[in-house]
Amino acid sequence: MGFKRFFFANFQRLESKGVLDILEIGGLRFQIKMDQKGLSLDLETKTSGINHSALLGFIIAEGNEQGPPALQGINISGCSVFKLRAMIDETLMPKFGTKENENPKLFSGETPMNFRFTMGNENTQKGFSDESGGWRLSGEWKASFPSIDIPACEISISGLTIELPLELAASSFCEQGPFTDGRSGVIRIKKVSWLNGFYDDLELHPMFSQNRFQIKDPVYINIFGGEVFLRELSGAEIISKNAVFQASIGIKALDLMTISKGSGFPVSGRLDGDIPHLTYKNDRIDFTGSLYAEIFGGGLDIKDIYLEMPFSQGRRLGGSIFWDGIGLDKLTERVPIGKISGVIKGKLTDFVIEYGQPARFLMEVESVKQKGVRQKISVDAINNLSMIGTGSSGVQSVLNSGLNRFFSYYPYSKIGFRCELRNDIFSLRGLIQEDGQEFIIRKGLFRGIDMVNQNPDNIISFKDMRERINRIFEDRGTAVKVN
């Protein structure tokens, strides 16, 4: 790092200019003027190209040991150029002419040196909390990203170019005007691949106005055989811990088979949705609106979605799901628990996933009679449901007795159960109450098998429940696992 010029003059003026080599990331040309007459600092910079790969390595190395989960294995190419102008007002400037430095030495020349320089008093160093102090940064950022690969999110981006204005300020410089006073930029993307879909030739025109940005023009993205349209995207106080980002999103006819392909649980159907308000604040994303999936001959309505700590390993996902008209024959083709025919409705409320595992939920499922649809259940399904409910195949002896051993299927008149997970405790209850007994499955009119909940107050740990379910899948030779 070399300073071409650095001097004090009459305790009133400081000037410096030179070139900085920043950890082999890029070169920084700068010129600094500090003038007590104007009681401000004026900084102008222009980088000669910051290497994205080197910068990313530095950020991750200086952060926590493993880095955010979303950045694991990330690879970025290309470089950036910045042109900046900064202003810092008087309360952030060091005071000259004090007794401690009444006779500072004047010096100039090419001076290689390493330094740490802290400006301002204790209050201003803690986030510029002094109302009379502050800073302003304006300029532009130009960047080229030939490729970005984020394996953890299954995202690949190619041909990304950015030309954005920078308009940031704090404290006394914060005087927000209307967005008509802002400056516009452009973001171009040649191609984005995500999961099993891709889209190309995307162009965005964000407008920036002091600590805020806005993309007002609708953006239409064709992906997964359907369309996602972004009606509006904005951010406020983007340099503050109280930053707020908002968006309005519509989803039309996305193909679920394309989305779920390669997930281990491919399903056919379509996904639609309307999210009029998506808000990110205080490390939490809230979705106002709903998503609707046509699946297994019926529909799923997903509501009250939220995501906390989205970039951490302990991310927390919550919401509620309501379904109706789901065909059990199609569902049990995908879930290897045994063959069941019929139609069900139900709901999953207070649903929370933490660290990729269910933390709590309340689920209710009931069969619904539908004209022309037979209600029957296979011996395998009866055995497996008994295993989930009791941990053993105690019903096997009944199925192998008398005439029962000649049947592979049995009719039923009703299925109804409720299961709850809370504080790692799992409970299963029947919703059919008859003659003082609690049924999970009620037999048909003339024959069938009743599944009675013999111990309604029985509770087990969710770990034991996962082991029961995994045992069923292992017995059927499938790789499906419940986490």
pLDDT of residue 395: 54
364 domain residue, yes or no: yes
422 domain residue, yes or no: yes
Q: Is the pLDDT of residue 236 over 70?
A: yes
354 domain residue, yes or no: yes
Burial of 311 (0-12, 13-18, 19+ CB in 10 A): exposed
Confidence of residue 2 (pLDDT cuts 50, 70, 90): very low
Q: Cα–Cα distances in Å, from 476 out to 116, 337, 338, 463, 469?
A: 65, 8, 9, 20, 11
Residues 6 or more apart whose CB falls under 8 angstroms from that of 19 comprise: 1, 2, 4, 27, 28, 29, 30
| φ, ψ of residue 4 in degrees (nearest 5) | -80, -25
pTM comes to 0.74
Q: How far is CA 284 from the centre of its chain?
A: 9
Token pair belonging to 215: 């993309």
152 domain residue, yes or no: no
Count up the domains in the chain and report the number: 1
Q: Which of 208-217, 357-366, 411-420 has the lowest mean pLDDT?
A: 208-217
CA angle 145, 151, 153 (to 5 degrees): 95
Calpha distance 200→205 (Å, rounded)? 16
Per the CB < 8 A criterion, the answer to whether 60 and 75 are in contact is no
368 domain residue, yes or no: yes
H/E/C letters for each residue in 194-255?
ECCEEEEEEEECCEEECCEEEECCCEEEEECCEEEEEEEEEEECCCCCCCEEEEEEEEEEEE
Closest CA to 163 of 175, 137, 179, 145: 145
pLDDT of residue 69: 64
Token pair belonging to 67: 């880095």
54 domain residue, yes or no: no
Token pair belonging to 71: 């950045």
Q: Which of 129-138, 255-264, 321-330, 347-356 has the lowest mean pLDDT?
A: 129-138
Domain interval for residue 383: 312-483
Bridge-partner residues for 139, per DSSP? 84, 166
Quickly tell me which residue has 């933390």 as its tokens.
Answer: 359
Between residues 88 and 383, the one the model is more confident about: 383
Mean pLDDT for the stretch of residues 172-179:
56
| φ, ψ of residue 434 in degrees (nearest 5) | -145, 135
Alpha helices by DSSP H, 34-102: 52-62
Per the CB < 8 A criterion, the answer to whether 54 and 111 are in contact is no
Q: Is the pLDDT of residue 106 over 50?
A: no
Burial of 457 (0-12, 13-18, 19+ CB in 10 A): exposed
Q: Which of 153-157, 203-207, 426-430 has the lowest mean pLDDT?
A: 153-157
Average pLDDT, the chain: 76
Burial of 472 (0-12, 13-18, 19+ CB in 10 A): buried
Confidence of residue 407 (pLDDT cuts 50, 70, 90): low
pLDDT of residue 317: 95
Q: Is the pLDDT of residue 20 over 90?
A: no
Confidence of residue 209 (pLDDT cuts 50, 70, 90): confident
Q: Is the pLDDT of residue 416 over 80?
A: yes
Token pair belonging to 187: 């973001």
pLDDT of residue 295: 94
Token pair belonging to 41: 């600092």
Confidence of residue 122 (pLDDT cuts 50, 70, 90): very low
328 domain residue, yes or no: yes
Taking the CA atoms of residue 60, residue 65, residue 68 and residue 72 in that order, the dihedral angle to the nearest 10 degrees is 70
Calpha distance 266→57 (Å, rounded)? 36
Per the CB < 8 A criterion, the answer to whether 383 and 445 are in contact is no
Q: Is the pLDDT of residue 18 over 60?
A: yes
Calpha distance 198→214 (Å, rounded)? 25
Confidence of residue 136 (pLDDT cuts 50, 70, 90): confident
Token pair belonging to 472: 């069923």
Per-residue model confidence as pLDDT tens digits over 281-298 = 999 999 999 999 999 999
463 domain residue, yes or no: yes
pLDDT of residue 324: 96
Q: Cα–Cα distances in Å, from 29 out to 3, 4, 416?
A: 10, 11, 72
User: Is the sign of the CA dihedral 148, 152, 153, 155 positive or negative?
Assistant: positive
Mean pLDDT for the stretch of residues 175-183:
64
Q: Is the pLDDT of residue 427 over 60?
A: yes
pLDDT of residue 67: 55
Q: How many residues does the chain have?
A: 483
